[in-house]
Chain A
């Protein structure tokens, strides 16, 4: 038994070593980002591995020098878009997946397959056409258009939530129907309350989309800096004419975006896992 214990200790030691090395490798880029966000000298490229001097002015200037790169405003824009997208997309996804999972109707299979196929198209292939449609209906350079498009895209990834609803026993619905509940009532009062993990998962993923998308948002917002979301604005800081002046501020801005996202992730990771695996685990 003693030798078993020793091998156990030995193998644990090896695992600890590997985990430590991996953690370092994984954290180096993050650490580098944080260090450079405090870098005192300007410029994206420095001759040394680490910055020579440190300052907090990169952070301060994000909030004080706002005539062109209006970080606080972009933060507000993104938050607003994210909140609305989160609410609308979550509702859409839940509605669609519930319909496909629970309601039986003509051409249900066809609808599902069409949705699946459409989801396979890389979204930005159609960006230009989407832009012109939004312009034609008068939503040019508006946050509403971002919310609409993010929500639509999210709604096509219904199958994860559908997988979750599939796992809820149908007997519950049947019992409620006998009690005289309509399908609408079943959905709102019975199914939704016990679907917390998938609601949180969907809300989380759709809330995060506006924070990380820089391509579509820049196609919609184009030259209107005041309406930018954070990702687009930060990306603009890296353009050739700006990168020397703004690179360190880009890093500072990126750190500030990452903090709330990290907290959300750490807080909700359990639901995230349950979501991705379609409810097959109750972690």
Chain B
């Protein structure tokens, strides 16, 4: 824990030093990030190329049985005493072919156009009413094509594996090495290859429910899928980078709205995160102050507010501060004017930050009070001997200690607030709306705008462009901070 040597530095200097360090290293770290992404891609490309080369060379080197294993997967394994393994490979092949012929190809063949047949109608002779032949469904074509492509990639991987297995079997047979029995291979999944066992399930689930939808969503950004091109009645198709050009200037209202909301999003994320953090810590300090009785009771009072689901507490808040809500009624009864808490743009922005304090302070309190109790008492005693006051002790000992432990939490909070859908949507739905913004309101964050664009206005393509941009911002922030901060270095520290 060498970080603690720094507490000899002045309190403000330390904080400013840390902030400056972060900002100074930011360009360097961004470059490092890009370089490391590039390296990873290169590694991946090399890996694929090697795989391809060995795939070809095995075909040339292998005997007839290995060659037959190319079209009939697992053939070599089966003939060379690895029946179960071979059957698994063969089963995979049959399953794959069935999947492609009965499902995948129907969609994949149209990916270039996303469907061309519009809907057609005809008069049914018996009943005399209009009947329809449905149009191609561009959305399903795109979604299932992505799905099929992922399956194909997975199959290619299995195919390559099966050929390596066949070839290995051939070599082993030639050199008279006893084959690893199937049972033992299975057993290795509980030991040397235990990571494969543990990760397979989650990986499949993440592919199905995160990666495939994500690829689909990203591809939507390159189409004209909006309210006027809505399946199943209409087709949509590829438009290249048009949507990105719209957001970056070509469409004035859209790009203005984007940058306006981006700015507010940062203001919101910074103030929401840091105000909550500081004030929550102050609350924790007060509760943990020596001589304060009923610590458990105080803490429980604030914990209760965490436990009430946000969709209840925030909806109530928006009613409390409504134009004719109780707060305004009380103001009126006291002889004041009513305040448009949530209906005037500027007031509403301040209000959401304040109400978010109500939501966020208890969390920080809860987390930091655990940490505060952990600060070694000797640190405080030595400070006391040095004659340090309350503020000085806080700045010198408490803050650095807590900051050190909660850096990852703080980062998650920042990204979480940047994308804080719940608080904004439940409190104001992004309102009040503005005549200068495209389908957005003054308190909208990029995420809530995105949500409204899809659900209320069916502007899927614009929403997906925003989604990509939001993601780039959040991912860059967290990757940089995680990979080049104390949190990452700590990884091996204890081991």
Contact = CB atoms under 8 A, between A and B. Distances in A.
Interface in B350-384: 358, 362, 366-367, 369-371, 373-374
A180 to B, nearest CB: 10
Contact of A130 (B209, B450, B454): B209
B153 interface: no
Nearest to A168: B494
B292 interface: yes
Interface in A177-211: 182-185, 187, 211
A270 B370 contact: yes
B404 to A, nearest CB: 9
A152 B206 contact: yes
A169 B289 contact: no
Nearest to B44: A110
A126 B330 contact: no
B53 interface: no
Contacts of A32: 316, 320, 326
A12 B289 contact: yes
B494 A152 contact: no
A280 B324 CA distance: 47
B451 interface: yes
Interface string B136-156: 000110011001000000000
Contacts of A215: 421
A278 B373 CA distance: 16
A30 B314 CA distance: 11
Contacts, number: 248
B370 A273 contact: yes
A262 to B, nearest CB: 4
A214 B487 CA distance: 33
A103 B196 CA distance: 10
Given A19-B287, A120-B475, A159 B408 contact: yes
Interface in A123-149: 124-130, 132-133, 136, 148-149
Given A15-B292, A26-B305, A273-B366, A124 B311 contact: no
A261 B311 CA distance: 14
A44 to B, nearest CB: 7
The A interface, classified by DSSP as helix, strand, loop or mixed, is helix
Contact of B475 (A18, A23, A108, A117): A117
Contacts of B292: 12, 15-16, 19
B193 to A, nearest CB: 8
Contacts of A151: 205
Contacts of B304: 27, 30, 262, 265-266
A99 interface: yes
Contacts of B463: 125
Interface stretch (B7-15, B127-135, B265-273, B295-303): B295-303
Contact of B143 (A33, A124, A132, A262): A132
A48 B326 CA distance: 7
Contact of A129 (B206, B213, B320): B213
Contacts of B278: none
A282 B217 contact: no
Interface residues of A, number: 96
Contacts of B197: 184
Interface stretch (A52-60, A62-70, A90-98): A90-98
Given A118-B206, A183-B191, A231-B311, A126 B316 contact: no
Contact of B307 (A29, A238, A258): A258
Given A132-B140, A152-B206, A266-B303, A125 B217 contact: yes
B143 A148 contact: no
A170 B493 CA distance: 11
Given A12-B291, A121-B214, A269 B406 contact: no
A244 interface: no
B311 A118 contact: no
Nearest to B492: A166
Interface in B305-346: 305-313, 315-317, 319-320, 322, 324-326, 329-330
A277 B406 CA distance: 6
Contacts of A27: 301, 304-305
Contacts of B298: 19, 23
B202 A96 contact: yes
Nearest to B493: A166
B144 A15 contact: no
A266 B202 contact: no
Contact of B301 (A12, A23, A116, A214): A23
A32 B317 CA distance: 10
A283 B358 contact: no
Interface residues of B, number: 98
B470 interface: yes
A276 B406 CA distance: 9
Contacts of A153: 209
Contact of B494 (A29, A99, A166): A166
A257 B320 CA distance: 21
A92 B495 contact: no
B312 A254 contact: yes
Contacts of B310: 212
B289 A280 contact: no
A39 interface: no
Interface string B456-486: 0000000110010011001100110011000
15 contacts: A23-B298, A29-B320, A33-B312, A103-B194, A113-B479, A118-B206, A121-B471, A127-B213, A130-B209, A133-B143, A184-B191, A212-B309, A265-B303, A272-B366, A273-B370
Interface of B: 40, 139-140, 143-144, 147, 190-192, 194-195, 197-199, 201-202, 205-206, 208-214, 216-217, 283, 286-287, 289, 291-292, 298-313, 315-317, 319-320, 322, 324-326, 329-330, 358, 362, 366-367, 369-371, 373-374, 405-406, 408-409, 415, 419, 421, 447, 450-451, 454, 463-464, 467, 470-471, 474-475, 478-479, 482-483, 487, 490-495
Would you list the 10 A-B pairs with minimal beta carbon distance, nearest first? A129-B213, A126-B213, A273-B370, A262-B307, A184-B190, A283-B370, A183-B194, A182-B191, A254-B312, A95-B198
Interface of A: 8, 11-12, 15-16, 18-19, 22-23, 25-27, 29-30, 32-33, 44-45, 47-49, 92, 95-96, 98-99, 103, 105, 108, 110-111, 113, 115-118, 120-122, 124-130, 132-133, 136, 148-149, 151-153, 155-156, 159, 163, 166-170, 182-185, 187, 211-212, 214-215, 231, 234-235, 238, 254, 257-258, 261-262, 264-266, 269-270, 272-274, 276-278, 280-283
Given A120-B475, A124-B421, A166-B494, 9 more contacts: A125-B450, A133-B143, A152-B202, A153-B209, A166-B495, A167-B494, A183-B191, A234-B311, A270-B370
